[in-house]
Structure 1
Amino acid sequence: MEKQRLLVVVRHAKAEAFAPSDADRVLTAGGRGDGQALGAWLAAEGIAPDVAYVSYAARARETWEAVSRGAGWGLAPQIDGNLYATDEEGVLEIVRTTAEDASTVVVVGHNPTMAMLTQLLDDGDGEATDSVELGTFPTGAAAVFEVDATWEDLAPMGCRLRAFHVGRA
């Protein structure tokens, strides 16, 4: 039997509306709290990542820090500039490079990509399939997928949506 893999898709938490550039926008105080709450929920679900891909944007990096703090994770993320402006297929290309011995991968990115990725991956048979409305994926949210394929073979409609949660402090 193929080992169980988990893919956790996270949209960054609530960020300030303005900064010198979009990539420089930081989290609000509420966003930091929401990130920690999301991390606590992920830890309670037994999720501990082996690999984390995080957009280089300040709000995504700060979300990872808050989630990690809330979950008690010490994992150093892979900061990826491609996650800032890529589409859902671009995210899949990044995840497909994951070493096969990794059981759990977390991706922290932006909308509309995270919402579209969630819709793209869902096979329609998971416990949480109806919990994510088309076109919605709030800040500070996570979709947890069971992946029955290898990372290299990750494909559209190839994952089961096990849980969806919006972290709120």
Structure 2
Amino acid sequence: MQLFLMRHGEAGFDAPSDRERKLTDIGRIHTGFMANWLAKQVSHFDLVIVSPYLRAQQTWQEVSKHLSDPRKWLVLDDVTPSGDAKMTVDIVLAYAEQYKADNVLVIAHMPILGFMVSELVAGIEPPLFATSAVAHIDMHGQHSSFVAMTAPHQVIV
């Protein structure tokens, strides 16, 4: 299974709560760059899991413009900034197995994304994700490897 973990695009701070923060114009642009990059990496996603927070939902809206429709997409309350990484990894892997997903995209937040990488790949410290950045993890049964971390500034031409 190929697992892609993506942080939401840049969001503003002028919102009544953290949950309601919206993407900025730059956040939408950078997300579009990363969506184009993702489309070159993967022909389709079998499963997409998105945080319920507005900025993650908006990130998915931007990404989905550049990709074919996934077989299944879910909003998962566990992929919020303060979510439990171990439990979230277990849930994501269970959904991937349930839907027989070979290519999975998770759109969420820091710090949970960094901790998820550490849960998935033995011996790796939690990486920092720039906004709109994507980590690619190659999962082989019980073994997984960190393939790459790609951020918008690396794909803008």
**How many residue pairs get matched?**
150
Aligned sequence identity (%): 27
Which consecutive unaligned segments of at least 5 residues does structure 2 have? none
Task: Out of 59-68 and 85-94, give the one that drifted further.
Answer: 85-94
Q: How many angstroms apart in 2 are the aligned matches of 1:100 and 1:20?
A: 36
What is the deviation of 1:135? Answer: 4.6
Q: How many angstroms apart in 2 are the aligned matches of 1:8 and 1:102?
A: 12
Q: Does 1:163 align with 2:148?
A: yes
Whether the 8 Å contact between 1:68 and 1:74 is mirrored in structure 2 is yes
Q: Does 1:80 align with 2:76?
A: yes
TM-score (norm 1): 0.79
Which consecutive unaligned segments of at least 5 residues does structure 1 have? none
Alignment correspondent of 2:133 = 141
Instruction: Note the 1:44-123 alignment, pairs <5 A.
Output: 44-69=40-65, 71-75=66-70, 77-84=73-80, 85-98=82-95, 99=98, 101-123=100-122
Instruction: For 1:166, give the aligned amino acid.
Output: A
Which secondary structure does the structure 2 equivalent of 1:81 belong to? coil
Q: Describe the shift of the 1:32–1:160 C-alpha distance in structure 2 as closer, same or farther (beyond 3 A).
A: same
Whether the 8 Å contact between 1:9 and 1:144 is mirrored in structure 2 is yes
Which secondary structure does the structure 2 equivalent of 1:77 belong to? strand
TM-score (norm 2): 0.85
Q: How many angstroms apart in 1 are the aligned matches of 2:146 and 2:34?
A: 17
